[in-house]
Each structure stands twice: as C-alpha cells, then as structure tokens.
Structure 1
Amino acid sequence: MSTAPFDVEGAIDLIRLLVDHPGVDMATALDYYGRNAIHICALSGAGAALYDAITKGMSEEQIYPLLSQRDRFGWWPLHYAIDNKDPSGQMVECLSTSDQLVDQQVDGLHIFVFAISRYAWRQAFQIAVLMGGLSVMPDAVLDRAGSVADSHGTTAEFDELIAALAAGQPGLPEDFEERALSGGSTLVVTDSG
C-alpha cells in the first residue's frame, strides 16, 4: 500500500490544535483518506507523546473507536505503527486492542501476519506477546505467517522470531535487523530460564 505524502510536522501541529479546541470531536475529524488523529500520529512516527496529547482527558470508551477505526485502505492506526517499525515499541502497545489481536485485516491478514509481511520483526514479536504467546496463537495464523515469510525469503528471520518467542526471551537480539538486512540472519536463541 502506498500513502500520499504529507507534511508530518504540519500534521502534528494541526492535530495539537484540534486536540486543544473544545468544539472538535476527535472521533469524527478525518482527513481525505479517512484517517483520524491517531492514524496520523502512528503514520507520522510522532510516538507516544502525541498519542498522549490526543487522548488526554478521554475515557477508554472515547479512545476505543479511534483505535478501531479503519481508514479508506482498511488500516487501523496499529497498521501504521507496525509499518513505521516504531523502535520504541510504545505505539504498538498503545494502539493494540484485544479485538485487533484476534480480528483480521480487510485482505484477510491477521495483524501478526501483517507485521511479518512488512518485515516488522520486533512489532511481530510484541504482538505475539500481547496476544499471550505462541501457546494461544492460532495454528492457522502461524502457518500463514510462515508462508508469508517463506514467500518473502525471510524464513530464517521468521524461525528466529518463533524460537525467541518459544524460549520466552524478552525480545529479539539487538543486531537482529542488521543481520536480517544483510541476509545473514542466523538462529540465535538463549535460554531465558
């Protein structure tokens, strides 16, 4: 999917103005592509600070519709956070809802499989942990994710991700992306217990 380019700093400034304006309903303030303020926050890579500014003073009942709203491409804000490969991991956790961890995307991709398809390894790891680990991950989701990794030539990376999850590691090795990008991913698993 390709998104139209836009002025990130300008979008962030506009969101901050909207948040502070008492007459604006953040749930209905959408851009041309049907993206709400939290979509833009995730798309811009602005991080948890902007998310906190947007949701300040909102109840969970007010925030949930923003998190679960799909844009014209069928993407939740969570998709953008995964696609941007947020290094802090804060946005994936902020934007995940229990429904999204079991629901499917418009084209049939579970959010875990979507992360694998975008080479967002750390985010895929985080999603699996948020779901409750490999033991509760549906076999069909794991099979589809493995097939996607195989079709992308990233089977070694996928195997390393699964091994790290199975071993109960707190995350992927720091050099994971560097090895993956250089084509030199090797299975590195340490015993966590």
Structure 2
Amino acid sequence: MLRSSVSALAGAGLALAMTAGLAQAAEYEIDPAHSFVEFKIPHLGFSIMDGRFNDVSGTFTYAPEEGEGAQAITVVIPTESVDTNHAERDKHLRSEDFLNVEEYPEARFVSTGFTGDETGGVMTGDLTLHGVTKPIEIQVEKVGEGEDPWGGYRAGFIGTTTLDRNDFGISYDLGPAAETVDMTLMIEGVRQ
C-alpha cells in the first residue's frame, strides 16, 4: 500500500513538473510601442546616417527550459515606416532607388533555428527584403523578463546583424563605404 502511494505521488509530481515546464513555454506578441529596428550606414564615407523603422509587429516563442530549438520569432516591418528624421531623404529611401515600398511594402524575418541559452546566442532565419529572401544570422542577447505594472509578463531581447545591401538588390551608389548596413533590433513582447 505504501509503495503504490509513493509511486502515485511520484507520478503526480512528474506530471506536475512536465505541466509546469509546458506552462512556461509561451507565445509572445511583439509590443510595437517598445520595439524598434534601427540601422546605421556610412554616407559617402563622410559620416554615418542613422535611421529606424517606426512600425514593427510579430510574435515569438521563448522557452529556454525546452532547449535551443524552442526559440522562434517572426518579425514584420512595414518598409514605408522608414524614418531618418529628414522628410526628403525618407521619400528617396521609399522610392525605387532603395526600398521601393509600393512594390515591396514589408520586410519580414522568420527564424529557422537558434543556438545558445537563456541569456542569448545566434538566431538564424530568412530575411525577405526588397523582394529577395536570404538566410541571415542575428546575434541575440536577452535584456530581461518579468511582470510588468499592468499585470502582464514581458520579455525583451536585442539583436544585431550586418547586411550587404547588394544581396537584397538595393544597389544605388552610395560609395564603397556604404555597401553594408548595421542593423539593431530591440524586441519586447507580451506573453499571451
């Protein structure tokens, strides 16, 4: 009798532990008010131009207790939201010379893998930009996670990568120093 009670208790404990692990694996919705994508690119070799995309949306899964394969993200960026704090330059960036926002209204990143741990690592995935899809790697670092003042639960990450504009068919001549663009993604999500 004692043995069967211990076995039942152990079985219940194992089931509870498994359920708790599954409860921690959650989907997050990207908070567009606290997420952004910034870029830096040399301007003709004379200075560095900063800009950002003001609209970001998507979802991610963050489940460090389930191993490397459990982290996943989809990020959608309306290209028309490009903002360099200069209206005429932004108009040019939206034109066919650069982003061609009428034909390609959004950029999209969809992860395909993650190597690392709960503090960060390398996210691989496919970036679609200017009608071209290419695999890229993003260095990811966890900023933090926890309860917010409104009763929700949030997690935030920062990612960095460097893109070659020519890989995505954006080849408008800005001089040899401006072939690559440094990107920073600050993603904060609310657990659903």
Whether TM exceeds 0.5 here: the answer is: no
Identify, as 1 or 2, the structure richer in helix.
1
TM-score, L = length of structure 2 = 0.22
Q: Which has the higher contact order (CA 8 A, sep 6+)?
A: 2
Which structure's CA Rg is the greater one? Answer: 2
Identify, as 1 or 2, the structure richer in strand.
2
